[in-house]
Amino acid sequence: MSMAARSAHNAGMAEIINLNKARKRKAREQAAQQAAENRVRFGRTKEQKQREASEASEAQRKLDGLRRESATGQDDDRDTDGPARE
């Protein structure tokens, strides 16, 4: 068969592909798309993370400053009756 006849013969046929490779490629593309969506939805910048951490530590310092202590020096919210019984 000549080259022209071969291309005319193959014109009506589908391209032969490896189904495992096609499935894996499709899965990778979907995973990449999902990762991009997650980065947009859940991603935070370094500055945002630092700001939230400093706000949390400031709130903890305020709570610690407002904590009441008993005359014995122990926190009121602790169980002073002794060890827990089962």
Number of domains in the chain: 1
Q: What is the pLDDT of residue 19?
A: 95
The neighbouring-strand residues paired with 69 are 75
Q: Please report whether residue 59 resides in a domain.
A: yes
Residue 45: give the domain boundaries.
25-63
8 inside domain: no
Question: For 45-55, what is the mean pLDDT?
Answer: 92
Q: Residue 71 and residue 83: Cα distance in Å, rounded?
A: 20
Domain-located, residue 2 = no
Mean pLDDT of the chain: 82
Q: What angle do CA 17, 21, 24 make, to 5 degrees?
A: 140
Tokens 């008993």, located at residue? 70
Tokens matching residue 2: 């000549």
The alpha carbon of residue 11 and the mean position of all alpha carbons in its chain are separated, in whole angstroms, by: 47
Residue 77 lies in a domain: no
**18 part of a folded domain:** no
Residue 41 is predicted with a pLDDT of: 87
Cα separation, 51 vs 58, in Å, equals 11
